[in-house]
């Protein structure tokens, strides 16, 4: 008989596609009892909670329209020559809502097969909001509104942006869904304790990178640091690092590679559970890393709340 586990799925733009493969591997050994997700973790987790299989979610991600909509940096054969008009169109919130509505339909979170919470950040209230009721389409749009990639999502007086702004790996909210065993999947870039000195003659600018790409990449790198802090402050029973260092944040042209990497990473971590003190050693390693970077720290804030259902 399979064990039961609740999932915590973090954000990370295209890196979050690894969640699909990770869920595939986890489901081979566990029955999922609930999901808390941020950004791409909310999208993948929400689709799974409504009954779609990992293979069905993978098929949606492989669709060319999905690739173009979620990746302003990707155009076949001309990846760095995206026109301003196309960039503006990608910010069109109606396009995103139409895509989610096509995938999901008029499904409410209360109607899902599994308990589900989407994490978003409200710019008006300046606090995290936990969405556990109402339209699933609207919840996923709110949670995944990464600044500069998508416009904020307006909903019942809230102005939502990506939940990863404050909680890129929402382990703090694991108790909002049922389960006694928690599995957290992180896909964000790693944190380094090393720094490098360079001379003034060292080239500093990659002219191929556009402003919005630089900003989003910087956001995700900072979120990687916050995610590790969150994991140390609220340790899960199993932590899966599914960040693929070979890819970039907009690399949706290689969906299957992310899926495969997520699957392998999850299988390796699941196998590691059999080793004595597997998680204790992992937590000690990350704690040592954080200690090199700061004396003490974890992100705190006001207690997040849930909006009224739509």
- Domains for the chain: give ranges and CATH numbers: 3-192+202-293 (3.40.1090.10)
CB neighbour burial string for 36-45, b if at least 16 within 10 angstroms, e if fewer: bbbbbbbbbb
Q: pLDDT per position in the chain (310 positions), as tens?
A: 899 999 999 998 889 999 999 999 999 999 999 999 999 999 999 999 999 999 999 999 888 556 555 555 443 333 334 444 444 444 556 777 788 888 999 999 999 999 999 999 999 999 999 999 999 999 999 998 877 677 788 888 889 998 998 999 999 999 999 999 999 999 988 765 444 444 545 554 554 455 556 556 666 666 767 787 788 888 899 999 999 888 877 777 789 999 999 999 999 999 988 776 666 656 665 555 545 445 444 433 344 555 554 4
Cβ contact 2:180 at 8 Å:
no
Could you tell me which residues come within 8 angstroms of residue 166 by beta carbon, excluding any fewer than 6 positions away? 121, 127, 128, 226, 299, 301
- The catalytic site residues sit at 39, 162
Which residues is 130 bridged to in the sheet?
119
| CB count in 10 Å sphere of residue 102 | 12
């Amino acid at each position: 008989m399979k064990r039961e586990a609740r999932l915590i799925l973090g954000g990370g733009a295209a890196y979050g596609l690894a969640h699909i493969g990770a869920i595939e591997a986890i489901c081979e050994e566990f029955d999922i009892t609930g999901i808390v997700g941020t950004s791409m973790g909310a999208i993948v987790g929400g689709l799974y909670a409504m009954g779609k299989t990992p293979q069905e979610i993978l098929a949606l991600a492989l669709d060319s329209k999905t690739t173009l909509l979620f990746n302003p940096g990707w155009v076949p054969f001309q990846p760095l020559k995206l026109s301003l008009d196309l960039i503006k169109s990608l910010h069109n919130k109606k396009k995103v809502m139409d895509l989610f509505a096509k995938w999901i339909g008029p499904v409410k979170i209360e109607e899902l097969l599994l308990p589900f919470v989407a994490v978003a950040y409200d710019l008006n209230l300046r606090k995290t909001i936990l969405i556990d009721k109402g339209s699933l389409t609207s919840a996923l749009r709110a949670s995944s509104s990464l600044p500069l990639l998508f416009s904020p999502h307006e909903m019942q007086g809230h102005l939502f942006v990506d939940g990863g702004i404050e909680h890129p790996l929402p382990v703090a909210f694991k108790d909002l869904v049922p389960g006694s065993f928690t599995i957290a999947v992180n896909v964000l870039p790693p944190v380094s304790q090393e720094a490098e000195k360079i001379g003034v003659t060292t080239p500093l600018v990659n002219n191929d990178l556009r402003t919005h790409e630089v900003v989003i990449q910087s956001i995700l790198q900072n979120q990687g640091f916050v995610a590790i802090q969150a994991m140390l402050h609220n340790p899960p029973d199993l932590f899966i690092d599914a960040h693929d260092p070979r890819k970039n944040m907009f690399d949706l042209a290689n969906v299957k590679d992310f899926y495969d990497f997520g699957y392998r990473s999850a299988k390796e971590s699941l196998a590691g559970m059999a080793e004595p003190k597997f998680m204790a050693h992992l937590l000690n390693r990350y704690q040592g890393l954080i200690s090199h970077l700061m004396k003490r720290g974890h992100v705190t804030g006001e207690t997040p709340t849930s909006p009224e259902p739509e």
